[in-house]
Structure 1
Amino acid sequence: MLRTVIIDDDQLSRTILKKTFEKCFENVVLEGEADSVASGLALINRVHPNLVFLDIKLPDGTGFDLIEKLEDTDFKLIFTTAYSEYAIKAFKYSAFDYIVKPIVPDDIKASLNRINRVSTASTLPRVRAMRDNLFGSSEDANATIALPELNGFSIVRIDDIERCEGERNYSRIFFKDGTETLVSRTLMEFENLLAHHGFSRIHRSHLVNLKNVVRYLKSGGGMVEMKSGEMLKVSSKYKDELLNRLLHNRL
């Protein structure tokens, strides 16, 4: 049984959620509704739900503010959001489910059918990772990202990533300390997410953290040397953008 609360200042969204619960999900029991950070905090502390539908933008703050104020975050979390495609990638890589507004019943059904596979562990670190991905910048050395793994996810500092290498539908992530991990996400997806954190595509198979590029070489049509000593090919398609960012310090 999923003891559920809805925290959203949009009355229509709350109504659609409730009607979908009643019609399609007998195991979802609605324990209460709230429309702000303050009322949502009081509601969660009172009923101790195991599933929360949470809007990002609330009248007195954000969903992130609410999570930070909680002592116990041992519940499954589904965000309701009107954010852009870029923001959706932040939800995805922070290992949270989400429903895009305007809310429709089919999206609610899909999200609830997925939720049983989602762990309730480490909600707060994942929320911080998502907040960093939404609002962070290449100047934020503490920004983090959640990387999906076979049995869950790991949260890493974006600044610790040296480069990403595409392997069809997977990406191999190389870290500054010499370790690496294989993630079931495409390189294009990482490019869209990490471009705002100083990463640049240099080849169809390579995405690099520009902070870790130590040299550009004209030989071989263009190469970059990483701090690790790795030499990577730069394709003509990406060369001009790469040089522009390196020469003008657009990291």
Structure 2
Amino acid sequence: MPHAKINGIDLYYEISGREDGPPILFSNSLASTLHMWDPQMPAFRKHYKVIRYDSRGHGKSSAPDGAYSIETLVDDAIGLLDHLGIDKTDFCGLSKGGMVGQRLATLHPDRVERLVLCDTACYMGPPELWEGRIDTAAVDGMDGVVDATIMRWFTGPFQKRDPDAVDKVREMILNTPVAGFVGCCRAIQAMDQRETIQAIAAPTLVVVGADDPGTTPDAAREIQKRIEGARLEILPEAAHLANIEQPKLFDEAVLGFLGKG
């Protein structure tokens, strides 16, 4: 599948599903790739032209040095839509991808049909938290952050029940370029969308795992409170990657919201 020259980098993307279907754009979390959405593909491909891409700094996309910004990541997404000739799309992003979705729907309301924000936040302080992760990755590489990340991303019972799924994500984390991880950490560290997301007009669903320790249910409720008419779905027995821990419930909630259930 192709790369596109977008916003000064090579952005890797894949398209699948119904060629004549409405588009949906999936955006990945920090330290993952477009394959974090693999569990969703059987259900979503029945209804959609599915577009997935590796965020700047991740997977098969370029990983330039230096700090990124949420606005730069939004420009990448808009550039991809322009490259593909897509005027308007449904959008589904998790964690960092959800932060991109919030800013995308704020800055480019004409490009977003419906918005799904998963296990994400509109603000992720304090800055010192991110300095610690950045310093660890800079010194020890992604080996230094992978174990703690897995513990935040999956509940203990799921780690025992489906070690293969966890190992796939572990490989994504370990293969993330340090420059890309650090660049996106800087984007999250500098982000504060608590006021700006109040301008979002697109119909919005907020999804969160009940046991997510990072982008918590309270963080999801804050987004819901600030976006007029937003709906909230809390998935039981799931941590940060709720789409992987509870794929059936996730698909049902999201496709139902999108009118495809």
TM-score by length of 2: 0.36
Task: Determine which structure has the larger strand proportion and give its number.
Answer: 1
Larger CA Rg, structure 1 vs 2: 1
Which structure exhibits the higher relative contact order, with contacts defined as CA atoms closer than 8 Å and separated by 6 or more residues? 2
Task: Determine which structure has the larger helix proportion and give its number.
Answer: 2
